[in-house]
Chain A
Amino acid sequence: DAGVTQSPTHLIKTRGQQVTLRCSPKSGHDTVSWYQQALGQGPQFIFQYYEEEERQRGNFPDRFSGHQFPNYSSELNVNALLLGDSALYLCASSLQLRTDTQYFGPGTRLTVL
């Protein structure tokens, strides 16, 4: 039973560039949430996708956008990268919008230079 997978593992970008991160949920899960974890901090909720629609959103600017595909996989897009976007980006999956039983992937480490 495959768990949550994320790609790529590491990424280095330059300020102003755009980045796309990918996530495949745990088998059988239909809900995907994205989190940003800055150094020394806990994960911070970005948004949640279910049935290919954004259902909840945290306090992040419109530069952060996402997509969910019919197979439940998801992408996180960040435009006009800032130095402060450097962080570990975590994807979590669950069933039917639940947030109490989320399974996390290992994350994508994004470095913005």
Chain B
Amino acid sequence: DQQVKQNSPSLSVQEGRISILNCDYTNSMFDYFLWYKKYPAEGPTFLISISSIKDKNEDGRFTVFLNKSAKHLSLHIVPSQPGDSAVYFCAASATSYDKVIFGPGTSLSVIP
């Protein structure tokens, strides 16, 4: 039973446009959410996080939105750049010290 779902295996976006990556979760105990980016032959790299007390967190071109009632979060990248092409993992945990549950990932391609 997948507790963290990313229903779009892949996404293609034109350079300069907005990329929106979606994530849904089923476990209501999750209170902490993270996004990781992974390039081939490298380990995942932390991108941005949000805790359940907030509904939005912004860091430069990256913004994460959280809708707790819908158990849904999304990552917005504006503007998208070719270097953003990677696999993006949504992840969740109950606290900052609990094991992290990852989604299956979305492969983003930003076309120049």
Contacts and interface: CB of A to CB of B under 8 A. Distances in A.
Interface of A: 4, 33, 35, 40-45, 48, 56, 58, 90, 92, 97-107
A106 B43 contact: yes
Contacts of A90: 43-44
A42 B96 contact: no
Interface residues of B, number: 25
B93 A100 contact: yes
Interface of B: 4, 9, 32, 34, 36, 41-46, 49, 89, 91, 93, 96-105
B42 A106 contact: yes
Interface residue SS majority, chain A:
loop
Given A42-B104, A100-B32, A106 B41 contact: yes
B43 A99 contact: no
Given A41-B104, A44-B102, A107 B93 contact: no
Contacts of A58: 99
Nearest to A41: B104
A84 B45 CA distance: 26
B4 A101 contact: no
A41 B43 CA distance: 14
A42 B97 contact: no
A4 B104 contact: no
